Amino acid sequence: MFHNYLKIAFRTLWKNRTHSLINIVGLSVAFGTCVLLFLTATFELSYDGFHTDANRIFRLYFLSTNRDGTPNKSATMPYPISPALKAEFPEIEGVSRFFNGTAGVRRNEHTYSKSVRMADADFLQLFTFPLRKGNAKTAMNSLSDIVISENMAKDIFGKENPLGKPLQLRMNDSWKAFTVTGVISDFPSNSTLEYDALIRSENASDYQEFKSRWNHGNHEVYVKLKAGTDPQTLQRRTQAFLDKYLTKSNEEQKEQGYPKNELGFQQSLLLEPMRDVHFDVETMHGQAISKTYIYTLMLIGLFILAIACINFINLTIAQSLKRVKEVGVRKSLGAKRWQLFGQIWGETLMLCLVALLVGLGLAYVVLPTFNRLFQSHLTLDNFLKPGALLVTGLGFLLITLVAGGYPSWFVTRFNAVEVLKGTVKMSRPGLLRNSLIVTQFTIACLLIVCTLIVRQQINYLQEKPMGLDKDQVVSIPVGDELNGAVALKTMRDRLSSQPNITAVSGSGVNIGAGLDGSSSRRMFGFLYGKRDILCDWLRVDTDYLKTLGIKLLQGRDFSTNFSTDSSSAVLITQSMAKQLGEVNPIGKFIKPDNKSFQIVGVVSDFNLYSLHQEAKPVALQMQSSSPINYILVRVNPKNLLGAMETIKTAWKTIAPKQEFIGSFLDKNTERWYKKEQRLGTIFSSAAGIAILLSCMGLFSIALLSIQQRTKEIGVRKVLGASVGSIVTLLSKDFLKLVFVAILIATPIGWWAMNKWLADFAYKIDIAWWVFALAGALAISIALLTVSLQSIKAALMNPVKSLRSE
């Protein structure tokens, strides 16, 4: 019996191979897309979950309120907070600072650029990064100890045992000796904390100067609570701790009119669960990812799968109407309804199984491209994990029950006598079918709207004037092996006589995201009279304004003719002058960090960082104690390739062993918005798939409707109806449904994209024509899809239409 059912199923699918192919294509694309998107979302949600005691690990952050009443969240901590917490809170099992940074590493005259992070000895006990060699309890006891990753050990030592071997790190423009005391496992790809090596926090260049100051922060702090400790109870106790050590700061904020935070205090010290750090876009400075983005991926996957299931139901119903007589004959011969249901549902199961296998195959084939486009880290192992296989299997069964169950019930419900007499009545499309098509096109319209708005916002961010000329400027990372000031002077000498070079300068901060992947920011808050000032503190060199095309509005530029420029002079931006309340600030003094600097010039405002955040006032200074990390070169636009080759040649004479990773600033600033570009790619790809699948669904419904109205069409033609009138008759009902879908999608799209745009300090206004264009596209596509079937039906010979079978 089973063999017979199987044979009939194969025959039926082959006989209706066009419909079967449409079903398989639609479902396989949906399965493949959904698997990739869900695995990506699952990977992101798994961040930091590998730590054994992840639920007991927290990152500290300060919560205060800006003068305008908006909340201010900062995870930057002062040096003394770690030992104070460990001494005063016995329920804290361990505390560790964590500094991001890179350093040059040298062994036997070979140098390497590595991510050398600074942390405390507790780091190895807090986190689950197993030590492959060495003792976790003693590996970071000394300031000269260094723990290196397995990859770093392989790069530098090869197969040699690195324990006890010497290494040199370039720190503060000099080489310092370290001894390898441990080899730690490489960090997993879903780890927020990344490293090549670990050394003690006390090695920081400013540690001795700021180790007892509570008003200077430059690192993160992680704590691990003892088992059974309630985080909320501990968090409430930290308020008295802050009041004890930050009394002066709190009083100053109160005097300056700062409102209290949402908890009713000037400042609060809060605990952020370790597994939430990866999603904290406010404090992770571009390294985090919003949970909204992840849920969007999952929602898009569900949307596409829903459209495919709707299509499957409609196509199956359209095809199953041809099997009504077969069902009637089988019923008359004694077949039970559940047997007929099982047979038809079995055909659905077979077709879905083929679609699933094809979909998984497609997902595997496009995996490298998907990873590249969406910056994912998926591998075959992600597919083969028991959890992924279980969810895929359960999801597959659910889909076959939902998508195959309704068509099977629909076909088997007819009365056998009525079917064999030919008197069975086929009902017109009802609420369910209309709802399905409205749902399909609502999703398609919504994705079209999202695609248009995301693309508009990306273009706006890339084209908005930044207050500087980023075109034809090359940024060269100095790296960890060279002294930035010396390298800059040498590059100036090498390039001074080159006609392709217009200007050369240096900076402590890159503009945009360079190829070195590094970013940094230094800010100072201080009082000017009774005014509270907060500004970016930017290290530059002479010709910075000329190189970046920044306008000088008042005073003078930095010059080698003034010896004080390299120690006590600053240029400020126009917004900072306004914040100071000075119409003519030239000659005035500011005192960030209790050091006096004289203002010698005012420049136009410019965006030093991405347009996700509002530009802060900037103070430009030339203190020799601050490093030059990037060399900036403005080149002649008439010969960009020749100028780049000239720069590379000059760089090789300075750093022959160091890779040249210079890049143009306009490309750097584009990389600021790679997350938005990925989202735009996801939306446009999803919109294309949704439109394609929706057209398939609309095709199936049009086919079903025309099959039901074949005799009506024949009668109308006999009575003189034109082809145009019949096409209009058959199309208008579908277009009404598409119009309803547009009305539903418009407010949803407007609300969702306004929420998304709220993350940007600079953003577009959503225009009405976006929704009009999305609606016009949906109607045009729907009209084209329906017209193909309508015209075919209208041209059919009425004699053939009216023939009684």
How far apart (Å, rounded) are the C-alpha atoms in residues 250 and 269? 13
pLDDT at residue number 804: 47
When pLDDT is averaged across residues 115-136 and rounded to a whole number, the result is: 91
* 574 — pLDDT class (breaks 50, 70, 90): very high
Highest mean pLDDT among 106-120, 305-319, 459-473, 536-550: 536-550
Could you tell me which residues come within 8 angstroms of residue 304 by beta carbon, excluding any fewer than 6 positions away? 29, 30, 33, 34, 686, 689, 690, 693
* 323 — pLDDT class (breaks 50, 70, 90): low
> What's the number of CA atoms in the CB half-sphere (13 Å) around residue 319?
25
When pLDDT is averaged across residues 536-559 and rounded to a whole number, the result is: 91
Residue type, 699: F
pLDDT at residue number 36: 87
Q: Is the pLDDT of residue 429 over 50?
A: no
How far apart (Å, rounded) are the C-alpha atoms in residues 432 and 192? 47
Q: Is the pLDDT of residue 693 over 90?
A: no
When pLDDT is averaged across residues 661-670 and rounded to a whole number, the result is: 85
Let me know: does 40 contact 378? Beta carbons within 8 Å: yes
Q: How many residues does the chain have?
A: 805
pLDDT at residue number 25: 78
| Percentage, residues of the chain above pLDDT 90 | 19
Highest mean pLDDT among 52-56, 168-172, 399-403: 52-56
Q: Which two tokens stand for residue 61?
A: 């952050």
DSSP 643-695: HHHHHHHHHHHH-TTSPP--EEHHHHHHHTTHHHHHHHHHHHHHHHHHHHHHH
Q: Is the pLDDT of residue 52 over 80?
A: yes
Q: Is the pLDDT of residue 577 over 50?
A: yes
pLDDT digits (tens, 9 = 90+) for 130-158: 999 988 888 999 999 999 999 999 999 88
Q: Is the pLDDT of residue 307 over 60?
A: yes
How far apart (Å, rounded) are the C-alpha atoms in residues 682 and 785? 25
- For 531-559, letters b (16+ CB in 10 Å) and e give ebbebbbbbbbbbbbebbbbeeebbebbe
When pLDDT is averaged across residues 45-51 and rounded to a whole number, the result is: 90
When pLDDT is averaged across residues 558-587 and rounded to a whole number, the result is: 89
Assign residue 158 a region (left: φ > 0; alpha: ψ between -120 and 50; beta: otherwise).
Answer: left
Instruction: Give the containing element (helix H, strand E) for 511.
Output: none
Beta bridge partners of 620: 538, 571
Give the residue, 793 or 447, on which the prediction is more confident.
447
Let me know: does 58 contact 389? Beta carbons within 8 Å: no
> Which residue, among 376, 444, 360, has the nearest Cα to 686 in the 3D structure?
444
| Percentage, residues of the chain above pLDDT 70 | 85
Q: For the chain, how big is the Rg over CA atoms in Å?
A: 34
Q: Which two tokens stand for residue 76?
A: 């930057």
Q: Which two tokens stand for residue 143?
A: 């300031």
Specify the range with the lowest mean pLDDT, choosing from 206-215, 353-362, 392-401, 659-668. 392-401
When pLDDT is averaged across residues 359-365 and rounded to a whole number, the result is: 87
Centroid of chain to Cα 7: 49
- Are β-strands 473-477 and 77-78 bridged in parallel, bridged antiparallel, or unpaired? unpaired
Instruction: Give the containing element (helix H, strand E) for 71.
Output: strand 71-74
Q: Is the pLDDT of residue 562 over 90?
A: no
State whether residue 433 is helix, strand or coil.
helix
Query: Dihedrals φ, ψ of 535, to 5°?
Result: -145, 155
- Are β-strands 217-225 and 92-99 bridged in parallel, bridged antiparallel, or unpaired? antiparallel
Let me know: does 801 contact 710? Beta carbons within 8 Å: yes
Residue type, 793: A
When pLDDT is averaged across residues 91-109 and rounded to a whole number, the result is: 86
Could you tell me which residues come within 8 angstroms of residue 202 by beta carbon, excluding any fewer than 6 positions away? 143, 211
How far apart (Å, rounded) are the C-alpha atoms in residues 507 and 608? 11
- Quickly tell me which residue has 């199987």 as its tokens: 6
Let me know: does 557 contact 620? Beta carbons within 8 Å: no
Let me know: does 636 contact 473? Beta carbons within 8 Å: no
In the chain, domain spans: 1-55+286-426, 70-258
Could you tell me which residues come within 8 angstroms of residue 431 by beta carbon, excluding any fewer than 6 positions away? none
> Which residue, among 761, 754, 764, has the nearest Cα to 463 in the 3D structure?
764
pLDDT at residue number 26: 77
> Which residue, among 175, 193, 177, has the nearest Cα to 185 in the 3D structure?
193
Could you tell me which residues come within 8 angstroms of residue 718 by beta carbon, excluding any fewer than 6 positions away? 798, 802
Let me know: does 100 contact 196? Beta carbons within 8 Å: no
Could you tell me which residues come within 8 angstroms of residue 246 by beta carbon, excluding any fewer than 6 positions away? 214, 267
Specify the range with the lowest mean pLDDT, choosing from 7-16, 249-258, 451-460, 627-636. 7-16
When pLDDT is averaged across residues 717-728 and rounded to a whole number, the result is: 71
Q: Is the pLDDT of residue 717 over 90?
A: no
Let me know: does 777 contact 448? Beta carbons within 8 Å: yes
When pLDDT is averaged across residues 747-760 and rounded to a whole number, the result is: 86
How far apart (Å, rounded) are the C-alpha atoms in residues 796 and 169? 83
* 687 — pLDDT class (breaks 50, 70, 90): confident
* 778 — pLDDT class (breaks 50, 70, 90): confident
pLDDT digits (tens, 9 = 90+) for 328-350: 656 565 566 566 666 666 777 77
